[in-house]
Amino acid sequence: MSGPWDKRPPPRSHGTGRPASPRQPRAPRPAEPRDDARGLAGPQMGAPMGARDELRLYGINAVRAVFERRPEAIRKLYLIEARIPAFKALLAWCVKQRVGYRVVAEDDLDRLAASQHHEGIVAEVLKVEPTSAGDWLRALPAGPALAIWLDGVGNPHNFGAILRSAAHFGVSAILLPPQGGLALSGAAARVAEGGAEQVPLVRLGNTANAIAQLRGAGFSLAATVVRGGGDLFSARLPERLIYVMGAEGEGMDPQLAAACDARLSIPGTGAVESLNVASATAVFLAQWRQRLAKG
């Protein structure tokens, strides 16, 4: 009888899904936009930012998390008048630091965010570039640790939901493959509800070298599959573990799956084909956390 830690490629990984997000009610349009003491006129609404190292974030919790953890990264702020009471501290900081802010109409924020789900506030902030695997591992404390390797996941809403779950369950890092364009976006940060500021992003190098680095640091790798893997709820999970989550639809790279130490599946009723990758990730993380708590 084979066990969950047999090295065999999975048939395919968890699929797609996109959480819905209700539109916030419109606030009354202010009579005049206001700038801070810097006298900024601000960019044309919807115009691209000039600096490549900046990111346009939106959403109450996403902006609040940046202000709490790295306020010096904030370059400009736009908000509707109804959000002023909730962000008095941030606005006072902007005035003190001479960071430009404007009170604008909700339609302006729709264009700035390229989304109707901005929740009445948009901030232009400096990006945090992913760290290297070597730097992350050198800074990682000894003892139990959990990380997520995203192999081809590209949907920003799924990425944001994964970041939110990762922050909730204390994941040490999100590992990004060397290929592909997965990076933090405004949409992902909004869905993450502040989680994007809590969980480090790590850019991996060559896959074989990355696996060797991770194993050298005491990690085991588990490929997560829809079917054919060991039962997650009865598997004995190691203290230092990396879940490899595959791309939406196509699944993970078969060679990467074959290189993993185990294959794990979430048992269910079979009434639907599978959970989407974000929902499945939350289940996998919760189970590791439960096993850790039990010792």
Q: With contact defined as beta carbons under 8 Å apart, do 90 and 68 qualify?
A: no
d(CA 140, CA 27): 45
Q: What percent of the chain has pLDDT over 70?
A: 81
SS3 192: helix
Residue 228, token pair as written in the block: 């054919």
Nearest to 264 by CA among 236, 234, 222, 220: 222
* pLDDT given at position 33: 36
* pLDDT given at position 287: 96
> Tell me: the pLDDT tens digits for 13-38?
554 343 334 444 444 333 333 444 33
Please state the rounded mean pLDDT for residues 274-288: 94
> Tell me: the pLDDT tens digits for 46-62?
444 545 689 999 999 99
Nearest to 174 by CA among 136, 212, 207: 136
> Tell me: the pLDDT tens digits for 81-97?
999 999 999 999 999 99
> Tell me: the pLDDT tens digits for 148-186?
999 988 899 999 999 999 999 999 999 998 876 788 999
Q: Is 25 left (phi over 0), alpha (psi -120 to 50) or beta?
A: beta
Nearest to 187 by CA among 155, 156, 223, 165: 156
What is the residue whose two structure tokens read 């998390």? 65
pLDDT band at 3 (very low <50, low <70, confident <90, very high): low
Higher pLDDT, 3 or 169: 169
Residue 126, token pair as written in the block: 């400096």
Q: With contact defined as beta carbons under 8 Å apart, do 102 and 40 qualify?
A: yes
Is the pLDDT reported for residue 43 higher than 50?
A: no
In which element (H, E) is residue 201 found? Answer: strand 201-203
Cα distances (angstroms) measured from residue 73 to each of 39, 42, 53, 65, 184: 20, 17, 11, 11, 15
Query: How many Cβ atoms sit within 10 Å of the Cβ of residue 255?
Result: 10
Mean pLDDT score across all residues of the chain:
85
Please state the rounded mean pLDDT for residues 118-122: 97
> Tell me: the pLDDT tens digits for 220-253?
999 999 888 999 999 999 999 999 998 766 678 8
* pLDDT given at position 86: 96
